[in-house]
Amino acid sequence: MPKHSRWLSIALQAVLFIGIAFSCLIVYNMLPVWDQLSSTQSYVAGGLARGEPVSPKMQAALQRGQEQMYPYLWQLGGVAGMTLSLYFILRLRTKTSRHPQR
Amino acid sequence: MNPRIQLTLSLITLLFFGVMAVVGFQHAKAAPPAPEIIEREELQNWQYQVVQESKDYVSARVDYSRDSYEALRQYAIVQASLVQGLRKDGIDQLFISVTFRRPLPIVEFREWAKAHNMRVDSFMIRVKSPDGRAVTVGGVPTNGQIVEDDHLQRILQRVVAHGATDVQGIFSADGVSSITSYSKISTSKEVFISDVTRSVILHRLAKKHPTIQLQAQSIIIPSPFSRMEELGLDKFQ
């Protein structure tokens, strides 16, 4: 295996590792917000099941929870997408370095 | 596919997701908007403040002294003059919050609400545990009944499971009444405070800030009943 191809392979693994680790960190930060939002959602759902209307305060809490969730979903989508893109770029480079085009 | 095209596409995708991640981090960094006080007034022996909690939600909170029996009595007395003011301004429907002198048994409360022409929107029940701990349970009229038996069983189930078994009765009710029925409610021997501050706030806000959409149920009035219990309910009979 050519030397630079080996380095590309290491970089490939590093990108995957860092991407997954970073995604886990984002999920870890997102969990409390998610927990809060799902509690509010089940509280509202319970009230609706009993035929009680959703109070404006609960509506506002739901909206606030959703607004807090969006940035984490964007972060997660962005980091996961970047990791996959980098992975494909590096894999492409590895392939082309193994089988150089003439 | 040509590797060059593949590489270009991957780079574009990388850029797209990079922007997405940056936007996410920027938004997470931005602090959520702090609730903004949009109105605050001190009136005789009570005050209120209106808060813009979020873009679409405005709430208000009433505050008054609950230090002593006399302070609570003064707050109860001032309600009659507030109703006079509302009557002058042509208000005929009142959002009213009634606090009873003692918890009314459920049957008695049903009869009381009917006799006083009050449309009940919600009520609070006092339940006590054997060790004397007081628990408040909130309920709402269901299936056209002020206090429906099934609903009552459901809402009491949880506190009963935790040991609070002594259902003393309903100590407070929120709802709507006509201004003509108000005097009957306020002079009822069971009632200690017939609070109309919700109507006063809505009316004053409509005059000063007509664009603010505040709903009656978003106005929080602290219940005086726990304080009444501390001071001794005998004093309030």
Does the pLDDT at position B177 exceed 70?
Answer: yes
Q: Does A31 touch chain B (CB under 8 A)?
A: no
Nearest CB neighbour to A57, from listed B7, B14, B218: B218
Task: Quote the pLDDT of residue A102.
Answer: 45
Whole-number Cα distances in Å, A71 to A58, B37, B184: 21, 27, 55
| Three-state secondary structure call for residue B8 | helix
**Terminal CA-CA length for chain B:** 89
H-only helix segments in chain A: 3-49, 56-98
Separation in Å, CA of B24 to nearest CA in chain A: 4
Task: Quote the pLDDT of residue A79.
Answer: 93
Q: Which residue has the higher pLDDT, B158 or B38?
A: B38
d(CA B79, CA B39): 21
Mean pLDDT over A5-15 rounds to 82
**A84-88, B61-65, B229-233: least confident range:** A84-88
Percent of chain B scoring above 90 in pLDDT: 59
Q: Which ipTM was obtained for this model?
A: 0.74
Q: Does B144 touch chain A (CB under 8 A)?
A: no
Q: Does B33 touch chain A (CB under 8 A)?
A: no
Does the pLDDT at position A15 exceed 80?
Answer: yes
Give B80's pLDDT tier (boundaries 50, 70, 90): very high
Q: Which residues on neighbouring strands pair with residue B124, listed in sequence order?
A: B138, B172
Chain A interface, mutation test: which of B5, B6, B10, most A Cβ atoms within 10 Å?
B10
The residues, ordered by sequence, that sit 6+ positions from B51 with a Cβ below 8 Å of its Cβ are: B35, B36, B37, B38, B58, B59, B60, B61
Nearest CB neighbour to B17, from listed A50, A82, A95: A82
Q: Which residue of A has its CA nearest to B32?
A: A68
Contact list, A52 vs chain B (CB under 8 Å): 140, 142
| Residue ranges per structural domain of chain A | 3-98
For residues A64 and B55, is the Cβ–Cβ distance under 8 A? no
B28: phi then psi, degrees, rounded to nearest 5: -70, -30
Tokens of B73: 């009595």
Does the pLDDT at position B223 exceed 70?
Answer: yes
Nearest CB neighbour to B57, from listed A50, A56, A82: A56
- How many beta carbons lie within 10 A of that of residue A54, not counting itself? 14
- Angle between helices B3-29 and A56-98 in degrees, nearest 10: 150
Chain B interface, mutation test: which of A15, A27, A69, A92, most B Cβ atoms within 10 Å?
A92
Task: Quote the pLDDT of residue A76.
Answer: 93
- Angle between helices B197-208 and B69-88 in degrees, nearest 10: 50
- How many beta carbons lie within 10 A of that of residue A83, not counting itself? 21
Separation in Å, CA of A51 to nearest CA in chain B: 8
- The highest-confidence range among A63-67, A95-99, B140-144, B189-193, by mean pLDDT, is B189-193
Inter-chain contact A74–B19, Cβ cutoff 8 Å? Answer: no
Give B10's pLDDT tier (boundaries 50, 70, 90): confident
Give A99's pLDDT tier (boundaries 50, 70, 90): low
Contact list, A43 vs chain B (CB under 8 Å): none
Mean pLDDT over B76-103 rounds to 95
Inter-chain contact A75–B151, Cβ cutoff 8 Å? Answer: no
Count of CB pairs separated by less than 8 Å, A with B: 97
Task: Quote the pLDDT of residue B31.
Answer: 62
- The highest-confidence range among A10-14, B70-74, B154-158, by mean pLDDT, is B70-74
Q: Does A52 touch chain B (CB under 8 A)?
A: yes
Mean pLDDT over A4-31 rounds to 87
Does the pLDDT at position B164 exceed 60?
Answer: yes
Q: Which residue has the higher pLDDT, A42 or A72?
A: A72
For residues B142 and A51, is the Cβ–Cβ distance under 8 A? yes
Contact list, A76 vs chain B (CB under 8 Å): 24
DSSP for B30-43, written as a single string:
SPPPPPEEEEEEEE
Task: Quote the pLDDT of residue A50.
Answer: 65
Separation in Å, CA of B77 to nearest CA in chain A: 30
Q: Does A66 touch chain B (CB under 8 A)?
A: no
Separation in Å, CA of B12 to nearest CA in chain A: 9
Separation in Å, CA of A39 to nearest CA in chain B: 18
Mean pLDDT over B41-62 rounds to 88
pLDDT in tens, B115-128: 999 999 999 999 99
Q: Which residue of B has its CA nearest to A86?
A: B14
